[in-house]
Amino acid sequence: MADLLRDFRILLRVAWLTELEHKANFFISVIGALAFNAGQLLFIGVLLNAFGSIAGWTPAEVMVLFGIRMASHSMYAFFFRRVIDVDLVVHTGEFDRYLLRPTSPFLQLLTRRFNLQQFGDVIVAAAILAVALPKASITWHPLLALWLVIAIGAGGMLEGALQLARGALAFRLQNTQSLTALIDTVFGTYGNFPLQIFGTLGSILFTVVLPLAFVGWIPAAIVTGRTDSLWFPTWLAWLSPAVGVAGMAAAIFFFTRQSRHYSSPGS
Amino acid sequence: MIEVVELVKEFRKPQPTTGRLAGVRQLWAPRRTVRAVDQVGFAVERGEIVGYLGANGAGKSTTIKMLTGIVVPTSGTVTVNGLVPWANRKKHAYNIGVVFGQKTQLWFDLPLRVSLETIRDLYRIGAADYVSRIDEFDEVLQIKDFMDTPIRSLSLGQRMRGDLAGAMLHRPQVLYLDEPTVGLDVVAKQALRDFIAEQNRVHSTTVMITTHDMDDIEQLCRRIVLIDRGRVVYDGDLSSLKRRYLPFREVVITPGANADTAYIGAKHADRLENADGTISLRFDPERTSAAAVIAQAASTADIADLHVNEPKLEDVVRLIYAEAER
Amino acid sequence: MIRLGSTNALFFRANLALSMVSVALQTVLLVTVWRAVYSGHGQVAGINEADAVSYAVIAMLLWHIALPWQLSSIPDRVREGTVATDLIRPIGVVGQSLLQAVGATVGAIPGVMVGLAVAFAFGGLEPPASTGALGGFLLTAALGWSIAAMLNIAVSMVAFWTTDTRGPFYIYRAVASFASGALIPLWFMPTWLRPLLDALPFGLQVFAPLQLWHGQEPIGRLWAVLATQLAWLAAAAAIVALVSWRALRKVVINGG
Ligand SMILES: Nc1ncnc2c1ncn2[C@@H]1O[C@H](COP(=O)(O)OP(=O)(O)O)[C@@H](O)[C@H]1O
Ligand SMILES: [Mg+2]
């Protein structure tokens, strides 16, 4: 573990130096992330503006949900975003290099670039939470705050886990990139809704099959005290961050297994 | 050091479709299996330099990728220094250095120095060792001239020298080189060969090299493994390879002016008249000697000049590759 | 070359199956979300539930065709270095990219069919207001697609100047998706935002055709829409021409 952390630091330094080579790009990327998130914010804003509450949640509660979703997304973006590059890395043969070095190929994948541009996400998420949290009537407790931080981290892991599992398909299938876009769209668009909007069946599907619930809905329900909207008991909701952690572990395992099918292009 | 037993690698590819609506029908195209490496076996001792030869598509790179742990074999076993490359990846990484002529293993956008420092850190090489090795490498490879240039701006020759330094920095026991000299100028090629020979001599580094450059082989390799369509067709030293594939030698005679050449041609030698007026006498060194052939020629006609053609590896390889084409 | 585009899209069967599943899933989600959002509201901004649901589905499908995951093959070809030879071919990079866009659209048709079928099965499709409305929709949607294809090519040419194209593509995607009305019908936009949105070409790609579908008159009616679309198409073509001319110079100077 200490070895891994040390390698992470070493690789992060190269990633950072690489990023500095592309300075102009860096700013554009930050602006890009800002624009993208502003688009989503507008989406929710316009809906709330036109319709008032959504599925029984007040605008403030929906905004808390949106803020939490953004925050966990920025966690994902900061640490795990490069998992969407698996296709590129496999098709160009860059993965050769990861397999030849004495450290985790997965770690090398995550650090192939430094994701500072995702500060755009962090800024938006922080701003939204700063505005929305005081507006929603929340009874704060230090443990609740701690739990929220953990839940946000676990949500990021869950999104990363899905994208990583998708990426691992690239070792065997030629082109599954449209799945990346689908996950992005579904998380980015529908993850922002209180999921009871999809009915009981829908919210069960979004918890069990396509686990959207963990990146926003469940944490928001706990924080705002709207656990009445959940389809399962509250004590389970408190345990929900375990899903993100377990999901990431499973995805890394899957990725490692699939990487045995790597066929390395070029001769 | 390297043990390879019955190594097989198969790739699955969709069968190409042609004709009407090929693009759509491609969707249901059956997949066919290509056997890139077929029952390959050999053993390499510590300190050997082995030339791994074969025509394009023979399966050289695929073999190297399995030996280095990049690709997992379909069947068969590989152990390198007692480790299975793809299963003990991390430990194995310390034992090997790899250079691919086609793609760099270094960080493309960053100066060579950063790449080498990162390798130093990842392999936990001590600061003093690092400095002394860089000094050592610089003597032959002259890498200090371009330490601060990004890899992407290096010439091919510089890049290969940088890659070689990166591959050897942790002083691996085995060095794999896949077509390292392709596209290099004579000076860069020579620097590479000198470096490889020196590492082998001083540190007993085991080397396995694939190349189409026969000078690489002649200068470096004591042993050759030849593969054709995935199978080993020859494994042995260079001179017996030549003997096996080019069993004759040649004396080329330029007759003097007005010489009567009708009687030139000894027993056990085939006579060929070349377009430029010279005469080639081919003979099997096992059955007759060059001296006997020359003496016979000199005694029957006036000779202006003559020379003996030694068999060239190039001819051997051309012969073998031509066979593979058929 | 058209075949090439559709082959690329179709070649990878996994991708084709995935994109059909993806469209089907998104269709179901859209229908559900809009119905749920509407529950308890009769009309919002003068639009009833059935129209909003139908709008959302068709807009998503239009957008699925107009803004594919890969804007064009130019970034790939720049990275692989094959673009230098493409630039001097008679048909040119732009021509090839356009034909590939046509091919990709053809390849996306199965997905669109699936989306329409799913929406129909869920009772989420409203027929066009009249035959004339359908004609207007088809005409403006086709022109809107052309504008989008041109703009996609123009934006993807950023690849000539920078190796990492994600930032610019991100911005383009975000702005275009929002401003086209593909995510939310522009009916629901606050009034202060409307002048800005009307000044952009994106509304002409999704919102205007769909207004016609629903029997609404876009500003200045059909003819004005067509004229604006043609003007934007010309402008987009001019941008592409300008950018590719600069790009050619750049490639020549850099030696490819
Ligand atoms: N990643 C791959 N996928 C499919 N086929 C491959 C792959 N790599 C190599 N091959 C096929 O395996 C055979 C051997 O290739 P290779 O080992 O690269 O040959 P060499 O290095 O001797 O030129 C060729 O027929 C090649 O087409
Ligand atoms: Mg090869």
Task: State yes or no: pLDDT of C6 exceeds 50.
Answer: no
DSSP structure class, residue A88? H
Ligand 1 pocket, CB under 6 A: A 263-265, 267; B 11, 13, 34, 36, 54, 56-62
CB-based contact (8 Å) between A189 and chain B? no
Residue in the structure block whose two tokens are 């010279």: B278
Give the chain A residue whose CA is nearest to the CA of C183: A43
Q: For a pLDDT cut of 70, what percent of chain A falls above it?
A: 97
Question: Residues C126-170: pLDDT tens digits?
Answer: 888 888 889 999 999 999 999 999 999 999 888 887 776 777 887
Residues near C117 by beta carbon (within 8 Å), at least 6 away in sequence: none
Separation of CA B101 and ligand 2 centre (Å): 9
Mean pLDDT for the stretch of residues B96-118: 92
| Cβ distance of C7 and B27 shorter than 8 Å | no
Distance of CA A220 to CAs A144, A157, A215, A226, C29, Å? Answer: 11, 17, 9, 8, 21
H or E stretch at A34 = helix A23-51
C212-247 burial, b if ≥16 CB within 10 A, otherwise e? bbbeeebeeebeebbebbeebbeebbebbeebbeeb
Residues near B125 by beta carbon (within 8 Å), at least 6 away in sequence: B119, B133, B169, B170
Cβ atoms of B96 and B174 closer than 8 Å = yes
| Cβ distance of B110 and A14 shorter than 8 Å | yes
Task: State yes or no: pLDDT of C90 exceeds 80.
Answer: no
B136 class by beta-carbon count within 10 Å (0-12 exposed, 13-18 middle, 19+ buried)? middle
pLDDT at A43: 79
Ligand number nearest to the C-alpha of B55: 1
What ranges do the domains of chain B cover? Answer: 2-10+41-242, 248-310
Mean pLDDT for the stretch of residues B13-42: 72
Q: For a pLDDT cut of 90, what percent of chain C falls above it?
A: 27
Tell me the two tokens of residue B235.
């494994």
Task: Provide the total of helices (H) and of strands (E) in chain A, helices listed first.
Answer: 13, 0
Angle of the C49-66 helix axis to the C13-38 helix axis, nearest 10: 150
Average the pLDDT over each of A86-90, B251-255, B275-279, B310-314 and give the range with the smallest value.
B310-314
Separation of CA B232 and ligand 1 centre (Å): 16
Task: State yes or no: pLDDT of C16 exceeds 90.
Answer: no
Question: Residues A90-136: pLDDT tens digits?
Answer: 988 999 999 999 999 999 999 998 876 677 788 888 888 888 888 88
Q: Which atom of ligand 1 is nearest to the CA of B12?
A: 4
The ipTM is 0.83
Average the pLDDT over each of A10-24, A149-163, B106-120 and give the range with the smallest value.
A10-24
The CATH fold assigned to B248-310 is Alpha-Beta Plaits (3.30.70)
Domain boundaries B2-10+41-242, CATH class: alpha beta
Which residue type sits at C152?
A: N
Span between the terminal Cα atoms of chain A, in Å: 36
CB-based contact (8 Å) between A85 and chain B? no
Cβ atoms of A216 and A189 closer than 8 Å = no
Mean pLDDT for the stretch of residues B24-30: 59
- Select from A41, A49, A35, A52 the least CA-distant residue to C190: A49
Question: Residues C62-89: pLDDT tens digits?
Answer: 998 888 877 888 887 777 677 767 666 6
CB-based contact (8 Å) between A172 and chain B? no
Task: State yes or no: pLDDT of B216 exceeds 60.
Answer: yes
Q: Which of A14, A263, A266 is opposite residue B11, by nearest beta carbon?
A: A263
**How does the average pLDDT of chain A come out, rounded?**
87
Task: Measure in Å the smallest separation between the Cα of A93 and chain B Cα atoms.
Answer: 9
CB-based contact (8 Å) between B35 and chain A? no
